[in-house]
């Protein structure tokens, strides 16, 4: 099995996320033993942000790190466990609301692929970048 970041790299649809993790200085943390639950936006999710947003975030690593940490929950949580609670605390500190009915959603994003099991956690692929607040 592969780590979360190795799995993301192999998928080919998380290039922006991987570049953002690098720019924010979070690679080492996400390569660690975890476990983590990562809500991973696909490249199209980043592309859907207003023009210039990604570059602005890359130019501001602390803000970028804050947003990326909002996509991570401590522990390895599969879909069936996530939907047992209405919200979960992100590593950023803000709560992430979970839709407990179909479709499976986290905040304002739909989970397009759940329960991708990795050596150091679980990945849930989402169709939008989620923001705290």
Which CATH number do you get for residue 107? 2.30.180.10
pLDDT averaged over every residue in the chain: 94
**Does residue 128 contact residue 109 with C-beta atoms inside 8 Å?**
yes
The answer as to whether 131 is a domain residue is no
The answer as to whether 132 is a domain residue is no
The answer as to whether 71 is a domain residue is yes
The answer as to whether 44 is a domain residue is yes
Average pLDDT over residues 38-52: 95
Does this model's pTM top 0.85?
yes
pLDDT of residue 78: 97
pLDDT of residue 79: 96
As for how many domains the chain has, the answer is 1
CA distance 18 to 20: 5
The answer as to whether 133 is a domain residue is no
The answer as to whether 35 is a domain residue is yes
The answer as to whether 112 is a domain residue is yes
Average pLDDT over residues 59-64: 93
The answer as to whether 61 is a domain residue is yes
Give the residue numbers spanning the domain of 47: 4-126
State pLDDT tens for residues 62-86. 999 999 999 999 999 999 999 999 9
CA distance 113 to 17: 16
Average pLDDT over residues 37-42: 98
């Amino acid at each position: 099995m592969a780590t979360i970041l190795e799995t993301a790299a192999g998928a080919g649809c998380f290039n922006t996320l991987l570049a953002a993790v690098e720019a924010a200085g979070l690679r080492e943390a996400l390569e660690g033993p975890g476990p983590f639950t990562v809500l991973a936006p696909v490249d199209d999710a980043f592309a859907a942000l207003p023009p210039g947003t990604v570059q602005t975030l890359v130019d501001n690593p602390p803000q970028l790190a804050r947003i990326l940490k909002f996509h991570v929950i401590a522990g390895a949580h599969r879909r069936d466990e996530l939907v047992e609670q209405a919200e979960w605390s992100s590593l950023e500190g803000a709560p992430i609301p979970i839709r407990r009915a179909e479709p499976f959603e986290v905040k304002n994003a739909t989970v397009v692929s759940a329960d991708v099991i990795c050596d150091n956690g679980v990945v849930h692929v989402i169709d939008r970048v989620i923001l705290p607040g």
